[in-house]
């Protein structure tokens, strides 16, 4: 059965700055405050293409903590560098993904990559926060660098485009990221008149962000920067592109557990939040300069 659409919403009116390098529009929890409706996802920030101009000092966010969930950064244009207190670091370029499991607690910093900073040019990215179930909140921190060129891919028929399967599975093909709960994340590039069809389980919360382009999703129009929110009714999704289009498809099985959040810490109880804060204050998340 065709998956029903709850709403197609437009980009939020205002952006916010994350540090001085990420000019983001918050799709949720900003526009969807009921966390059950987006679970297992916690947050979606989108930095549409923006040229910050050349800079000798890379823009970004300095050292900060995370605990109890995962941060997923998808680069569409420009390059992002990452360093964390577990000793992991990496640079992602367009199409690449950083999948960082904060788990038991980590410090990291996120910057425009040095050469990209010096040159300037359009910067376009998404940051997604994915919750961890209670049993995995204290998993050791981990970093997965998922390169576009090595990502599992499906080529669409009739020159329709292609899909990089960042996580989960698509039409029987597995995605690249290792996840803790069932999640699908697709980087979809459709050519004008290209189309694709797939299923996501009825109980998965499912969304499509139109990064660029103009598409029809299950018969409804969705334009650049619009966000398609599905109901938990039906499975099948059919997308047809009117123009060359880039889409981020998200679906995930809800985690039916309480959420206690204070900024970059996402736990299940207030007590655990206090503990996280004390651990951070006392240096238990390690050292990062
Ligand atoms: Mn961060």
Q: Which CATH number do you get for residue 96?
A: 2.60.120.10
Question: What average pLDDT does the segment 55-78 reach?
Answer: 97
Domain count, the chain: 1
Q: How far away, in angstroms, is 127 Cα from ligand 1 center?
A: 9
Q: How far away, in angstroms, is 238 Cα from ligand 1 center?
A: 34
- With a CB cutoff of 8 Å and minimum separation 6, the contacts of 122 are 49, 50, 51, 77, 78
Question: What average pLDDT does the segment 76-89 reach?
Answer: 96
Could you read off the pLDDT of 219-254 as tens digits, one per residue?
A: 999 999 999 999 999 999 999 999 999 999 999 999
φ, ψ for residue 270 (rounded to 5)?
A: -60, -40
Q: How far away, in angstroms, is 54 Cα from ligand 1 center?
A: 23
Within a domain: residue 82? yes
Q: What pLDDT is attached to residue 170?
A: 97
Q: How far away, in angstroms, is 59 Cα from ligand 1 center?
A: 14
Domain containing residue 132? 5-252
Q: What pLDDT is attached to residue 56?
A: 96
Q: How far away, in angstroms, is 235 Cα from ligand 1 center?
A: 33
Q: How far apart are CA 92 and CA 104, in angstroms?
A: 24
Report residue 171 as tokens. Answer: 């039409």
Within a domain: residue 289? no
- Across 123-142, b (16+ Cβ under 10 Å) vs e yields bbbbbbbbbbeeebbebebb
Q: How far apart are CA 182 and CA 207, in angstroms?
A: 15
Q: How far away, in angstroms, is 14 Cα from ligand 1 center?
A: 21
Q: Identify the burial level of 193 via C-beta atoms within 10 angstroms of its C-beta, where 0-12 means exposed, 13-18 middle and 19 or more buried.
A: middle
Query: Residue 289 — pLDDT band, cuts 50, 70, 90?
Result: confident
Within a domain: residue 284? no
Could you read off the pLDDT of 94-117 as tens digits, one per residue?
A: 999 999 999 999 999 999 999 999
Q: Which of 55, 98, 50 is nearest to 77 (CA)?
A: 50
8 Å CB contact between 288 and 66: no
The position carrying tokens 């900003």 is 30
Within a domain: residue 201? yes
Q: How far away, in angstroms, is 30 Cα from ligand 1 center?
A: 18
Q: Provide the 3-class DSSP secondary structure of residue 286.
A: coil
Within a domain: residue 61? yes
Within a domain: residue 274? no
Report residue 154 as tokens. Answer: 């499906």
Report residue 13 as tokens. Answer: 């009116």
Angle (CA) 19-142-135 rounded to 5° is 105
Within a domain: residue 260? no
Q: What global pTM score does this model have?
A: 0.97
Question: What average pLDDT does the segment 78-86 reach?
Answer: 96
Q: What pLDDT is attached to residue 7?
A: 97
Q: How far away, in angstroms, is 43 Cα from ligand 1 center?
A: 12
Does the pLDDT at position 200 exceed 90?
A: yes
Within a domain: residue 285? no
Q: How far away, in angstroms, is 11 Cα from ligand 1 center?
A: 22
């Amino acid at each position: 059965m065709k998956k029903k659409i709850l709403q197609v919403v437009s980009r939020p009116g205002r952006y916010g700055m994350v540090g001085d390098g990420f000019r983001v529009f918050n799709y949720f929890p900003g526009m969807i405050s009921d966390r059950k409706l987006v679970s297992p996802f916690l947050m979606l920030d989108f930095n549409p293409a923006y040229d910050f101009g050349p800079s000798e000092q890379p823009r970004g966010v300095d050292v900060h903590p995370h605990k109890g969930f995962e941060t997923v950064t998808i680069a569409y244009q420009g390059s992002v560098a990452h360093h964390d207190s577990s000793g992991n670091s990496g640079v992602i370029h367009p199409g690449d993904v950083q999948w960082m499991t904060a788990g038991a607690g980590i410090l990291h910093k996120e910057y425009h990559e040095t050469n990209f900073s010096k040159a300037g040019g359009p910067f376009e990215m998404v940051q997604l926060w994915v919750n961890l179930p209670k049993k995995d909140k204290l998993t050791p921190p981990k970093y997965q660098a998922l390169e576009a060129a090595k990502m599992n891919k499906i080529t669409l028929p009739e020159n329709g485009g292609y899909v990089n399967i960042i996580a989960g599975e698509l039409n029987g093909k597995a995605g690249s990221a290792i996840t803790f709960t069932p999640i699908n994340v697709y980087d979809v590039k459709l050519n004008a008149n290209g189309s694709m069809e797939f299923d996501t389980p009825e109980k998965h919360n499912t969304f499509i962000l139109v990064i660029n382009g103009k598409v029809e999703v299950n018969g409804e129009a969705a334009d650049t920067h619009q966000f398609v929110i599905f109901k938990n009714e039906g499975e099948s999704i059919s997308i047809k592109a009117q123009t060359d289009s880039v889409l981020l498809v998200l679906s995930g099985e809800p985690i039916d557990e309480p959420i206690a959040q204070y900024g970059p810490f996402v736990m299940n109880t207030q007590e655990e939040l206090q503990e996280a804060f004390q651990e951070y204050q006392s240096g238990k998340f390690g050292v990062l300069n």
